[in-house]
């Protein structure tokens, strides 16, 4: 009984080379096709943004007057005027929102990263912050309306600022948490090895190291709050006069644009375009400063 040993004949080198060349060619075609597809989708996404910016700049800059920055809004059918009180009101509203949300947001992020990292409570708080970041802004206005405006029977700057703080809070929490997690672990260990306790390590090592990134998150939250309309309508309402107290209504840029854009008077409509331009410039400058701070910290 004999056994025969069979050996497969080797594949010629030329067909293998042709197969590899064919695969490389298809990979190159696929890669170029994906590059073209990405470019087309990017271009399609830029078109609406560029169209909005072009319209706001062309309509807003053509009717803009420097006196608009300190004059009061005009009455119906009146010429001239400005949105000085709305500009001041927006700054006050955002400041109140930042004062209310920044300490809570930063302390919450410190708790998540330094005192309860990986715990169940940290996961619940982080999940809640992510859910809150996706909640429609009008719900924040309705909440403060029911809690504060109904209780005090008046619209106020303070209520508007608290509504904005609800929108700013999850952004600050998540941005600060990410900033603290980026601080190298060996810095904390070195501080503890030198005899510092956890609180001293957080205040003197972790927070200063993450400071620029935290500031970036705060400025992004401020930029979002500055353009909100719905929560301000439910809480701070609007007025044509200068603000004199935190317990009274105030004008804001977003609500002024909303009100003036729907009236049949050309002067008010043109003022809404100019206010839109100023608001876009404010948001753009805030974002540019935040990116500069972030890049300097890297």
182-219 confidence digits (pLDDT tens): 888 888 888 888 888 888 888 888 988 888 888 888 98
The span from the CA of 32 to the CA of 17, in Å, is 23
Question: Does residue 196 sit within a domain?
Answer: yes
Among 247, 254, 246, smallest CA distance to 225 is for 254
Question: Does residue 275 sit within a domain?
Answer: no
pLDDT at 15: 66
Question: Is the model more confident about 129 or about 294?
Answer: 129
Q: Specify the 3-state DSSP secondary structure of 38.
A: helix
Question: Does residue 184 sit within a domain?
Answer: yes
User: What pLDDT, in 10s, does the model give residues 47-73?
Assistant: 988 888 888 888 888 888 899 999 999
Question: Does residue 105 sit within a domain?
Answer: yes
Cα of 5 vs its chain's centroid, Å: 72
- Around Cβ 219, how many Cβ atoms within 10 Å? 21
CATH number at 139 reads 1.10.3720.10
Statement: residue 1 has pLDDT above 50: no
Question: Does residue 46 sit within a domain?
Answer: no
* Number of domains into which the chain is organized: 1
Question: Does residue 295 sit within a domain?
Answer: no
The span from the CA of 223 to the CA of 149, in Å, is 25
Q: Specify the 3-state DSSP secondary structure of 82.
A: coil
pLDDT at 4: 52
Structure token digits, residue 43: 């271009």
The answer to whether 52 and 42 have CB atoms below 8 angstroms apart is no
User: What pLDDT, in 10s, does the model give residues 148-168?
Assistant: 999 999 999 999 999 999 999
User: What pLDDT, in 10s, does the model give residues 238-281?
Assistant: 999 999 888 999 999 999 999 998 888 888 999 999 999 999 88
Residues spanned by the domain of 124: 86-252
Question: Does residue 19 sit within a domain?
Answer: no
Statement: residue 8 has pLDDT above 60: no
Q: Specify the 3-state DSSP secondary structure of 250.
A: coil
Question: Does residue 197 sit within a domain?
Answer: yes
The answer to whether 176 and 217 have CB atoms below 8 angstroms apart is yes
Statement: residue 122 has pLDDT above 90: no
């Amino acid at each position: 009984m004999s056994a025969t040993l069979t050996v497969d004949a080797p594949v010629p080198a030329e067909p293998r080379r042709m197969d590899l060349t064919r695969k490389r060619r298809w990979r190159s075609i696929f890669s170029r096709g994906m590059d073209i597809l990405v470019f087309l989708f990017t271009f399609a996404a830029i078109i609406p943004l560029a169209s909005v910016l072009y319209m706001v700049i062309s309509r807003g800059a053509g009717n803009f007057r420097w006196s608009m920055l300190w004059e009061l809004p005009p009455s119906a059918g009146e010429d001239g005027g400005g949105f000085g009180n709305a500009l001041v009101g927006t700054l006050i509203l955002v400041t109140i929102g930042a004062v209310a949300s920044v300490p809570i947001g930063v302390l919450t992020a410190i708790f998540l990263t330094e005192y309860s990292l990986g715990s169940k409570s940290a996961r619940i708080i982080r999940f809640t912050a992510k859910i809150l970041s996706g909640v429609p802004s009008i719900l924040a206005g309705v909440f403060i309306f029911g809690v504060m405006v109904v209780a005090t029977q008046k619209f106020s700057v303070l209520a508007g600022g608290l509504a904005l703080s609800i929108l700013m809070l999850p952004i600050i929490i998540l941005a600060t948490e990410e900033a603290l997690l980026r601080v190298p672990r060996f810095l904390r260990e070195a501080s503890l090895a030198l005899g510092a306790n956890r609180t001293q390590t957080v205040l003197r090592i972790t927070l200063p190291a993450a400071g620029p990134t935290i500031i970036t998150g705060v400025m992004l939250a401020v930029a979002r709050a500055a353009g909100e309309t719905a929560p301000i309508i439910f809480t701070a309402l609007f007025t044509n006069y200068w603000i004199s107290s935190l317990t009274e209504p105030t004008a804001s840029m977003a609500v002024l644009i909303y009100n003036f854009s729907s009236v049949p008077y050309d002067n008010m409509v043109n003022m809404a375009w100019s206010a839109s331009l100023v608001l876009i410039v404010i948001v753009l400058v805030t974002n540019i400063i935040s990116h500069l701070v972030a890049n300097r910290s890297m």
